[in-house]
Structure 1
Amino acid sequence: MERRSFVRSAGIAGVLAAGAAPAIVQAQANIRWRLASSFPKALDTIYGAADVFSKQVAAMSGGKFQISVHAGGELMPPFGVVDGVQNGTVEMAHTAPYYFFGKDETFALGCAIPFGLNSRQMTAWYYEGNGEKLMREFYAKYNIVNFPGGNTGAQMGGWYRKPIGSMADMKGLKMRIGGFAGKVLERLGGVPQNIPGGEIYQALEKGTIDAAEWVGPYDDQKLGFNKVAPHYAYPGWWEGGPQLDFFINQKAYDGLSAEYKAIVTAAAAYAHVDMQAKYDGRNPAALRSLVSSGTKLFRFPKDVMEAAFKESMAVYSEISAKNPNWKKVYDDYSKFRAEQNLWFRFAEAGFDDFMQQQKL
Structure 2
Amino acid sequence: MKKTIQAIILLTFSISATANWFNDDKQKPTQQQEQKTYTLKLAETWPSNFPIFGDTPKKFKKLAETMSNGRLKIRIDSKNKHKAPFGIFDFVKSGQYDLGHSASYYWKGKDINTLFFTSMPFGMTTFEQHAWFEYGGGQELMDKVYAKYGLKSIIGGSSGNQMGGWFQKEINSIADLKGLKMRIPGFAGEIMAEVGAKPINISPGELYTALDRGTIDALEWIGPSLDLRMGFHKIAPYYYTGWHEPGSELQFLVNLKKYNSLPKDLQTILISAMKLSAYQMYDQSEHESAKNWATMKKDYPNIKIRTFPKPVFDALRAANDKLLKKLAASNPLSKEIIESQTNYLRKIRAWTAISDQAYLNSQSK
Q: Flag whether TM exceeds 0.5 (same fold).
A: yes
Q: What SS does the aligned partner of 1:139 have?
A: helix
- Deviation digits for residues 253-283 of structure 1 (CA, Å, limit 9, x no counterpart): 1011111011112101211110010011111
Q: In the alignment, what sits opposite 1:124?
A: 131
Distance 2:12 2:256 in 1: 22
Q: Give the one of 291, 298, 304 matched to 1:296.
A: 304
Which residue in 2 is equivalent to 1:104? 111
The one-letter code matched in structure 2 to 1:347 is: S
Per-residue CA distance 1:186-225 (angstroms, 9 max, x = gap): 1111100011111111101111100011111120112221
2:270 aligned partner: 264
CA distance in 1, matches of 2:32, 2:284: 31
User: Structure 1 residues 246 and 262 mapped into 2: Cα distance closer, same or farther (>3 Å)?
Assistant: same
Q: Does 1:72 align with 2:79?
A: yes
Consecutive unaligned residues in structure 2, runs of 5 or more:
1-10, 23-27
Check if 1:340 corresponds to 2:340. Answer: no
1:218 and 2:218 correspond: no
Q: Is structure 2 residue 18 aligned with structure 1 residue 13?
A: yes
> 2:283 aligns to what?
277
1:128-139 matches, within 5 Å, as 128-139=135-146
| Number of residue pairs matched by the alignment | 348
1:353 aligns with 361
Q: Give CA-to-partner distance per residue, 1:110-150, whole Å, 9 cap, x none.
A: 11111111101110000011011111111101111111111
Cα distance change, pair 76–13 in 1 and its aligned pair in 2 (3 A): farther
Deviation per CA, 1:64-109: give whole Å up to 9, x if none: 2111112225224111110111111100101110111112221111
Native 8 Å contact 1:232 1:295 kept in 2 = yes
1:1-360 map, 5 Å? 10-13=15-18, 27-235=34-242, 237-291=243-297, 292-293=299-300, 294-355=302-363, 357-358=364-365
Deviation at 1:26, TM superposition (A): 7.3
How much does 1:181 deviate? 1.2
Within 2, Cα distance between the matches of 1:199 and 1:220? 14
Cα gap change, 1:95 to 1:276, in 2 (>3 Å):
same
Give yes or no for contact 2:46–2:79 (8 Å, CA) kept in 1: yes
Q: Distance in 2 between matches of 1:73 and 1:193?
A: 22
Q: Secondary structure of 1:113's match?
A: coil
Let me know the Cα RMSD of the aligned residues.
2.2
Q: What do residues 137-171 of structure 1 show as CA deviations (whole Å, max 9, x unaligned)? A: 11101111111111111010111111212212111
Asked if structure 2 preserves the Cα contact closer than 8 Å seen for 1:178 and 1:214, the reply is no
**For the residues of structure 1 that align with 2:98 and 2:204, how far apart are their CA atoms?**
23
Taking the aligned partners of 2:122 and 2:194, their CA distance within structure 1 comes to 15
Q: Is the 8 A contact 2:29 2:265 kept in 1?
A: no
In the superposition, relative to structure 1, how do residues 280 and 119 fare at CA in structure 2: closer, same or farther (>3 Å)?
same
SS in 2 for 1:239: coil
For residues 10 and 256 of structure 1, the distance between their equivalents in structure 2, rounded to whole angstroms, comes to 19
Segments of 5+ residues of structure 1 without an aligned counterpart are 1-5
TM-score relative to the length of structure 2: 0.90
- Structure 1 segments (4+ residues) deviating >4 Å: 6-9, 14-17, 21-26
CA distance in 1, matches of 2:128, 2:322: 22
Deviations 1:216-235 (Å, cap 9, x if unpaired)? 11201122211221211102
Q: Secondary structure at the match of 1:142?
A: coil
Equivalent position amino acid for 1:55 in 2: K
Structure 1 length-normalised TM: 0.91
